[in-house]
Amino acid sequence: MALTLIIGNKNYSSWSLRPWIAMKAAGIAFDERVIPLYEPGSREQILKYSPAGKVPILIDGGEAIWETLAILEHLAEKFPAAGLWPKDAAARSHARAIASEMHAGFAALRRNCPMNLWLPAKKRPLPDEVKPDVARIEALWRDCRARFGRGGPFLFGAFGAADAMYAPVVARFHSYGIDVTDETRGYMAAVMALPAWREWHGSAMTETWVMRHNEPDWPLVRGIKLSQ
């Protein structure tokens, strides 16, 4: 039976991007259903699939798996050949640790830089509370690349679950013009060059749902002034 991934708006839903890009990059076949967030009836639709009332949700037969890390672990068990986690035990433990850190942390970056793929990329003023998050993420990426990334351009060489967890951070760093090192930009470029990234981004560009609280240039949306 085919897997189905329930996701939110591709332009805004950072958590939906994570399992989606992991599955696409790994070649795991699935159907998708988009439920636009914060629209009338959205929560009721999501509650049909998960009592948590949030996306993403993976439907596997009669089983519903919610929470992104749980979805990634379910997929890693079901498709071990996909290599979502590194084969080496030390690298695998480290990948899980940094994925969990992303899942639980970096609240200032999330709060001040909501994911918005159609946002015109430019440097924007950010509060000082974001700087420690950026510094930690850069240090984390640099350490992973130095210790485990010799086999390819991603954190552990090949693209995997840890990269998927940080894919929305790549989007944020790019859209908000955040100052980062050339090494960080190289990693970002590798992620954004993925066919899976380009597919998600292309779909996001066709969406028409607008979430005002995720539009930092409001009333400008995609460079166009909307009526307030």
What dihedral do alpha carbons 193, 141, 15, 51 form, nearest 10°?
Answer: 150
pTM summary value? 0.96
Take residue 109 and report the two structure tokens written for it.
């970056």
pLDDT at residue 199 is higher than 60: yes
pLDDT at residue 228 is higher than 80: no
Instruction: Report d(CA 73, CA 84) in Å as an integer.
Output: 9
Domain ranges for the chain: 3-82, 89-200
Candidates 3.40.30.10, 3.30.420.40, 3.30.70.960, 3.30.470.20; correct CATH number of 3-82?
3.40.30.10
What dihedral do alpha carbons 79, 83, 86, 87 form, nearest 10°?
Answer: 80
- Tell me if 200 sits within 8 A of 17, measured CB to CB: yes
Q: Helix, strand or coil for residue 147?
A: helix
Average pLDDT, the chain: 96
User: Tens of pLDDT along 104-137?
Assistant: 999 999 999 999 999 999 999 999 999 999 999 9
Query: Please, what's the b/e burial string for 54-71 (b: 16 or more CB within 10 A of its CB; e: otherwise)?
Result: bbbbbbbeeebbbbbbeb
Q: Which fold has domain 89-200?
A: Glutathione S-transferase Yfyf (Class Pi); Chain A, domain 2 (1.20.1050)
Q: What does the angle CA 221 – CA 55 – CA 227 come to, to the nearest 5 degrees?
A: 20
pLDDT computed for residue 60 by the predictor: 97
User: Tens of pLDDT along 3-34?
Assistant: 999 999 999 999 999 999 999 999 999 999 99
Instruction: Report d(CA 196, CA 198) in Å as an integer.
Output: 5
Residue 214 backbone phi and psi in degrees, to 5:
-105, 15
